[in-house]
Structures are given as structure tokens and as C-alpha cells.
A and B are shown apart, each in its own frame.
Chain A
Amino acid sequence: DGGITQSPKYLFRKEGQNVTLSCEQNLNHDAMYWYRQDPGQGLRLIYYSQIVNDFQKGDIAEGYSVSREKKESFPLTVTSAQKNPTAFYLCASSITDLGYTFGSGTRLTVV
């Protein structure tokens, strides 16, 4: 079955540590996205990529980094510069701007 796989489902980060969230899709979608969701809030865009080896900052890119070396993969690194990283992170993909498909998310907690 085609879909998007995010891992891990739960992640704990110590202060000052970098962590990487995985996002893999087998839908052959060109575009991929990372969103952050805080309790009671909508989704806010962190980064997006429309083609391999190219990506753009979203509304809240500070403290995050991404790469797009393969069409199927779009990992997100939460760096130590992100001062409030505890949140639910969602990865999505789409064919151009048509219907988005979302992964099941990663819950990141700072300990």
C-alpha cells in the first residue's frame, strides 16, 4: 500500500541535543512538507520541498533543517537552536497542490 511513514512515533530530546525525524513516502509525489502542531493550534509550515535537492523555508523554519536527497525521503532535524521543540510533527506529500497525504506524526518531547 502506498503511503507516508514517519518514525519514530515518540521521541525524547535532551536540552542541547539535535534529533532527526524521518519521513518516507512511496506515493511518487514530487512535493513534501513538514508541519508543526501545538495543542489547540492549527498546523504551521516548517519547510517544504517541491523537487529533489531543493527546499524552501516555511513560516517557522528557525531552529530546523531539512534535506531532500531522494524523492522518497524528507528528514527533519530539530537543532539545539530550536528553543521550544516540544510539539507534534506531521509530514505530508502531494502531487503539485492537489490533495495532501499525511503521515501519522512524531511526538517530540524535551526532557
Chain B
Amino acid sequence: GIQVEQSPPDLILQEGANSTLRCNFSDSVNNLQWFHQNPWGQLINLFYIPSGTKQNGRLSATTVATERYSLLYISSSQTTDSGVYFCAALRSGYSTLTFGKGTMLLVSP
């Protein structure tokens, strides 16, 4: 199956800082999603972004499908941004998402 690798595995930021999370995938995809898991375990879909760029408030994401990577940008981070960020990819011709191991983000006041 497809391999999904995320970096960095852990990230500590001071409130107000910016960050970039990276997701590399091993094969062509027709679905790429970013999720945020809060400290209570709830997973929230942030972006559905198989290609191109999208923005939602302080968050934006870019996927370059031809080079098999996606980036999640967090600007002016807040303590509520803490949690684990997952990238998940769906390989062309397959039916289910494959998740990376996540980036654990801690934003300190």
C-alpha cells in the first residue's frame, strides 16, 4: 500500500509563532486530507486537498501531487492549536485512507 510519512514527529512552539508541517507520500493520490486530533482524542477534518492550495483562517495547506508532498502551515499559533496533526492519503484505485504517524504540536503560552 501507500506509505505516508510526516515530519517533524514533535514540535514545540511559543504562542504567536508560525510553523510548517510536512507530509510525503509514496504514490500518486486522488485524496489527501489533513486532520487535527485534540487532547481528548477528537479528530477534526481540516482540509481535503488532493492538489493545490487552500486556506482557512490561520491555517493553510498546499499539495504538490506531482512531487508527492503536502504542507500544512499554521500562522500565529495559539495554545488551542496543540494536539496531533495527521496527514492521510488515498491511493488511486483504492477505497480507504492511509494515515501517517502524525506530528505532535505543543503551543506554550
Contacts and interface: CB of A to CB of B under 8 A. Distances in A.
Which of A33, A43, A102 lies at the interface centre, i.e. has the most chain B CB atoms within 10 A of its CB?
A43
Contacts of B75: none
B101 A98 contact: no
A92 B97 CA distance: 11
Which of B30, B33, B96 lies at the interface centre, i.e. has the most chain A CB atoms within 10 A of its CB?
B96
A85 to B, nearest CB: 17
Which of A33, A35, A50, A99 lies at the interface centre, i.e. has the most chain B CB atoms within 10 A of its CB?
A99
Contact-residue bracket for chain B: 20 to 34
A45 B96 contact: yes
Contact of B31 (A31, A97, A104): A97
A84 interface: no
Contacts of B42: 102, 104-105
Interface of A: 31, 33, 35, 40-45, 48, 50, 56, 58-59, 88, 90, 92, 97-102, 104-105, 107
